[in-house]
Structure 1
Amino acid sequence: MSDVSITEPARPRPATVTAAATIMIFMGVAGLVNAVVGLAAIGGVVDRFRDAAQATGASQSDIDGLAGLAWGTVIVGAVLSVLFATLLIALGLGNLQGRNGARIATWIVSGLGLFCGCCGLLAVISQSALTWNVSTDSQTQDLTQALTDAYPGWWIGLNGVVSAGQALGYLVVALLLALPASHPYFRRTADQAPVTPSMPPPLPTAPPPLPEVRNSDWQPPGRP
């Protein structure tokens, strides 16, 4: 007898789920691009900072320390961007497949991402509006200001757009997955009525054989 496989009917994917997953994948790719741009630009930033720092009279160790800080900040940011991009893309694909665990994890990541995006936006606003004033030593102030001035003019604008877009994207994703239209797609199939295969009717069996009639000496009585 051949095995009969039962295919579960495909659930239609709501547009809200598709939009949320698309935004997540786009945010992951955008984070990778931003990390690559930062790594490509930091070398020129450090070179300009070193040239300007020589005029402040600061020691070489102080100059190297701030240069290393600039490099370290960009490298750490790039590593975090790769991790978050991988996580966002994986969760986006999980949401496309209707996995409720991926949706719950997306809400958690969205909360953390929204917080980080707001903090990054505040940091960018502070960097663009304020000058470095971390010490009463004028030489140190000049040195830290030289590092700020070494960044290109588009640096602050790009980071501000990325931070604002990150915060807005996480908020939109969380809301899209929380809409009532998204709930049925993530409902567990176990909650639905189980589909049991219908067994074919049993094949008819052959009728029992008739009893065998043996010849005997008995004869019916004769007619008068």
Structure 2
Amino acid sequence: MSYPDRAPARRPVVVTLAVAALVLMAVAALAYAVAGAATLGGTVDRFRDAAGGTSAGPEQVDRIVTLLRVSTVLTVVVSLLAGLLLAGLALGLRAGRSGARTATWVVCGLGLILGCCALAVLVGQRAAPLRLGEDDRATGELLGLVDDAHPSWWIPLGAGLSVGQVLGYLVVATLLALPAANAWFRRRPAPQAPQQPPTQPAPPADPQQPAPSPAQHPWHQPPAPSYPPSEDRL
């Protein structure tokens, strides 16, 4: 019997591409978290060395260092959680769970918002020190040194990952909305084989019916007759 309304058991290409994109984004998020944790110590040291030539006092420098540490730790934690979440969604999509597809759409929407915010923050970091410098010269000088304290590849990497994050979420959400993905996630379970009806037990014997005599059994043989010994044999 054929079931034309059932989707094929093989995973569609669009779902496979969405899973691969999520895995790639998860690896990038974890790598970014590791890079941020590894470069924090060197960034703080370079910032302190550069802050020695400004008019800022030790307390102001310590406040900026604390802000730098907290922001980096938060970035590392968020990147780790994002990487683990994306990996879990990829496994759910690979297994064909419709709930994983819904959760992926929600994460894609939030990821688009966060990615756009990250791009806005990166752009705003260039103009913020200039505006703060008019009111507080020391704070403006310190904030201007933060970008230079990071490795030269750190800010371009963050900008590239933010752009890739926005594009990646758009691609994944679009792939999961295609007809092939809809048919596969809404597939019906395979029909089960009809179960055999249980065997009816034999009816109990009627206690009023007399039991068959031994002679009625075909295997019953009557005992051989016994004869008294004759006198000739004595």
TM class by shorter chain equals: 0.7 to 0.9
Of 196, 199, 221, the match for 2:196:
199
What are the residue-to-residue correspondences of 1:12-27 with 2, within 5 Å? 12-27=10-25
Can you list the C-alpha shifts for 1:169-214, whole angstroms capped at 9, x where unaligned? 0110000000111011111536x7x4342539x8xxxxxxxxxxxx
Identical pairs, percent = 45
Task: Tell me, in whole angstroms, the C-alpha distance in 2 between the residues paired with 1:10 and 1:180.
Answer: 13
Write the letter of the residue equivalent to 2:170: L
C-alpha contact 1:118 1:167 (8 A) present in aligned 2: yes
In 1, distance between residues paired with 2:54 and 2:44? 15
Q: TM-score, normalising length from structure 2?
A: 0.76
**1:154 corresponding residue in structure 2:** 153
Alpha-carbon offset, residue 140 of structure 1: 1.8
Q: For the Cα contact (< 8 Å) 1:125–1:160, is it kept in 2?
A: no
The within-5 A match list for 1:158-169 is: 158-169=157-168
Which segments of 5 or more consecutive residues in structure 1 lack a partner in the other structure?
A: 1-8, 203-224
Q: Please report how far the alpha carbon of residue 102 of structure 1 lies from its aligned counterpart in structure 2 after TM superposition.
A: 0.3
Where does residue 181 of structure 2 map in the other structure? 182
TM-aligned CA deviation for residue 72 of structure 1: 1.0
Cα distance in 1 for residues equivalent to 2:107 and 2:121: 21
User: What is the CA RMSD across the aligned residues, in angstroms?
Assistant: 2.4
SS in 2 for 1:11: coil
Matched residue SS, 2:34: helix
Which has the higher Rg, Structure 1 or Structure 2?
A: 2
In the alignment, what sits opposite 1:80? 78
Q: Distance in 1 between matches of 2:169 and 2:73?
A: 23
2:68 aligned residue: 70
Which residue of structure 2 aligns with residue 11 of structure 1?
9
Amino acid at match of 1:126: G
Aligned-partner Cα distance in 1 for 2:103–2:139: 44
Q: Deviations over 1:52-75 (max 9, x none)?
A: 112113121111111111111111
How many residue pairs were aligned? 193
Amino acid in structure 1 at the alignment position of 2:152: G
Structure 2: how far apart are the matches of 1:91 and 1:144?
Answer: 38
For the pair 1:44 / 2:35, whether they are aligned, the reply is no
Q: 1:111 aligns with which of 109, 112, 116?
A: 109
> Could you tell me whether the CA contact under 8 Å between 1:110 and 1:171 is conserved in 2?
yes
Judge which range, 80-89 or 142-151, deviates more: 142-151
Deviations 1:46-100 (A, max 9, x none): 1111111121131211111111111111111111111111111111111111100
Q: Distance in 2 between matches of 1:114 and 1:137?
A: 35
Q: Report SS of the residue matched to 1:189.
A: coil
| Aligned residue number for residue 169 of structure 2 | 170
Once the two structures are superposed, what CA deviation does each residue of 1:135-170 show, in whole Å capped at 9, x if it has no partner?
512122112112222222211110010100011101
User: Partner of 1:33 in structure 2?
Assistant: 31
Q: Distance in 1 between matches of 2:80 and 2:50?
A: 32
User: Helix, strand or coil: the match of 1:56?
Assistant: coil
- Corresponding residue for residue 223 of structure 2: none
| 4+ runs deviating over 4 angstroms | none
Gaps of 5+ in 2: 1-6, 200-234
